[in-house]
Amino acid sequence: MRFDLRDLELFVAVADTGSIAKAAEASHTVPSAVSKRLSDLEASFSISLLVRGARGVELTPAGHAFLLRARRMLHQAGQLEGELRADASGLRGHVRVFANISSIVEFLPADIAGFLQAHPEVQVHLEEHVSSAIAQAVADNVADLGIISDIPAVEGLQLFPYRSDELILLTAANHPLGQRSEVALRETLGFPLVGLHANSSLHHLLAKAAAESGLPLTFRIQVTSFDAVCAMVAAGLGIGIVPRAVTTAYTASLNLRAVKLSDHWARRQLFLCVRQQEPLHPAAQMLLEYLQHGPTGV
């Protein structure tokens, strides 16, 4: 299969005008060249995309499907060209960041907002993943920067301390564990739990800790955000384990209790990770330094 963007441009022009001759005129080429390119395009797929007639051309069902994808590819190619030209001129950059949900909720909103205020020409693409997937994505150059809570088993990465957070037990005010000053995970596993979705870093951490304690981890309900966990706990659906920082806005308003967890894993160090042997492009390097040091490091 061999075709290029010019083939797609000509196909879209023919589809838009309904005529090879009109498409050729608009594309500043001769009709025979347009017709030949379209025939070669059809031959490469072994399918008819156009029905040629005396009054022009019509798209076959395959042609309509191809048109949608051709438009999308041309749009993406245009975006790529614009980004590359902007990057080459030093006008802006694009940074791909993969992070766990705790850092996304607790720290990154303020940090990225501050960075973008200082560097409005930079675009930051942020995705949530578990730590193992983040480390692999950075190693594979799918992400420029990663924020993880576990030391990765992936080679070729360099780690920098980012922030630390603390996980706590969240209960309703009248829950028996809510009267405690400190509790261990194994003491919570006999109660209904409210937790995050199974693909979150926190879920993986709790599942591992429960397995090490020899007790099952059973959720009454799983949600997609920490504020939803707080709401479900307030409604009496169970207890939850969340970062302490995310409970601040809810403990008083929803009459919840934040109880310290005695388990060592409840106090976590978050790390920035980058590829070890490959220098970052300027925008990613600026973001890395900002996340390490704040505004004074930029």
| Amino acid 222: pLDDT | 92
The closest of 52, 68, 54, 59 to 8, measured between CA atoms, is 68
| Amino acid 53: pLDDT | 87
46 in the same domain as 179: no
184 in the same domain as 126: no
Single out the residue in 65, 88, 111 at which a domain terminates: 88
User: What is the CATH classification number for the domain harbouring 220?
Assistant: 3.40.190.10
| Amino acid 147: pLDDT | 95
258 in the same domain as 141: no
Backbone angles phi, psi at 111, to 5 degrees: -65, -45
The reported pTM is 0.62
251 in the same domain as 112: no
241 in the same domain as 100: no
Long-range contacts of 106-110 (CB under 8 A, 24+ apart): 106/163, 106/165, 106/243, 106/245, 106/246, 107/162, 107/163, 107/270, 108/147
Single out the residue in 39, 54, 88 at which a domain terminates: 88
| Amino acid 89: pLDDT | 54
| Amino acid 297: pLDDT | 43
The closest of 6, 56, 57 to 48, measured between CA atoms, is 57
User: What is the CATH classification number for the domain harbouring 69?
Assistant: 1.10.10.10
281 in the same domain as 145: yes
138 in the same domain as 273: yes
Number of structural domains in the chain: 3
Single out the residue in 88, 117, 147 at which a domain terminates: 88
154 in the same domain as 277: yes
CA dist., res. 160 & res. 151, Å (int) = 11
241 in the same domain as 112: no
| Tens of pLDDT, residue by residue, the chain (298 residues) | 577 889 889 999 999 999 999 989 988 889 999 999 999 888 888 889 999 988 889 999 998 998 988 888 888 887 677 666 666 655 468 899 999 888 998 899 999 999 999 998 898 999 988 888 899 999 988 999 999 987 777 888 999 999 998 999 999 999 999 999 999 999 999 899 999 888 788 888 899 899 998 888 889 999 988 889 999 999 999 999 999 888 877 888 889 999 999 999 999 899 999 999 888 988 999 999 999 987 654 4
| Amino acid 298: pLDDT | 41
196 in the same domain as 227: yes
106 in the same domain as 18: no
Q: Could you tell me the residue range of the domain that residue 38 belongs to?
A: 5-88
255 in the same domain as 186: yes
| Amino acid 86: pLDDT | 60
